[in-house]
Amino acid sequence: MAIILLGLAYGGDGDYIHTTMRERQRVSPIFQKWYRQLRQVNDEIVQPLEVTHGRGATLGLLHFPKTGSPPFPTLLALHPMAGDKDHFDFSLGAFREAGFATLTIDLPAHGDSFNSARAQADDEVIFARVLEALAAAPKIDPNRLGVIGGSFGAFFALRTAAVSPRVKAVVAYSSAFDIGRGLPDAVRGIRDHFAWVVGAQTFEESLEKAKPFHLRDVIGKIKCPICLVHGTRDHICDFTVPYEIARRARAPLDIYPLVGADHEASAPSMPHVARPAVEWLRKNL
């Protein structure tokens, strides 16, 4: 809880009240150290997993549940924009308590990949490669792999499920649907973060780079079950998104509205936010 409060004190909510990505880079190592110490204090079972792919290399945190026996069903976890693997790992405690291992990674231009290649609309090719490496890791059930994401990470979780046959279930918390369409009306924090992530120098360049960031061409390709958890008062990715996805989906799909929740639902650290997806995964993965 102390780390959460310090994060809010430093970076606000990340959307309306935010710290720029360049400033986040300066303090990110401090928070990484605190999360690492927290895992050590709690005797968490964590090991690194590095994956080389066509766009560089990605280092992940493979975090096992404390109970149960391997091989474990496992979730590739993709954090929200302006987040990182350490914070999203912290947010997934309820899933590990339910018996799922998690692999959190930094998205391009975030965390340990802060100065790496910028994000591209088809970065699901990276995450599909990570899933292949995860399937070969010890203690992992290669036939029970899912992908979970929040916000920008949820957007890519869905895109990953569309291209990787490894994905047997996908959970999207507060997903975006069409970033290019929504960017002109986005709050300042989203504009700033997206510009950094795609390497845009002006807002006009951001708008141009945002055009291919949408889900219209991929939702119909997903074959595994889909779980959408979304706040009914989300002002960043509004509550029409689940229905945009649902009317295009051909796979089984469930929508869980979080009544009154805004975009904070993109990180399922609170029990009432995590619960719908945890229960859904127990049935579908």
- Per-residue pLDDT at 8: 45
pLDDT grade for 10, boundaries at 50, 70 and 90: very low
Tens-digit pLDDT profile for residues 203-259: 999 999 999 999 999 999 999 999 999 999 999 999 999 999 999 999 999 999 999
**CATH second-level architecture of 2-284?**
3-Layer(aba) Sandwich (3.40)
Beta bridge partners of 169: 146
Q: How many CB atoms lie within 10 A of CB 234?
A: 23
Q: Please give the residue that has the higher pLDDT: either 45 or 32.
A: 45
Where along the chain do its domains lie?
A: 2-284
Tens-digit pLDDT profile for residues 60-111: 999 999 999 999 999 999 999 988 999 999 999 999 999 999 999 999 999 8
Whether 58 and 85 have beta carbons less than 8 Å apart is answered as no
Is residue 219 classed exposed, middle or buried when 0-12, 13-18 and 19+ CB atoms within 10 A define those classes?
Answer: buried
pLDDT grade for 12, boundaries at 50, 70 and 90: low
What's the whole-number mean pLDDT along residues 34-63?
A: 91
Whether 220 and 250 have beta carbons less than 8 Å apart is answered as yes
Tens-digit pLDDT profile for residues 179-198: 999 999 998 889 999 999 99
Tens-digit pLDDT profile for residues 154-181: 999 999 999 999 999 999 999 999 999 9
Tens-digit pLDDT profile for residues 104-145: 999 999 988 888 889 999 999 999 999 999 999 999 999 999
User: Is the pLDDT confidence value at 23 over 90?
Assistant: no
164: nearest Cα among 125, 120, 212, 214: 125
Give the global pTM. 0.92
- Pairing state of beta strands 226-231 and 253-258? parallel
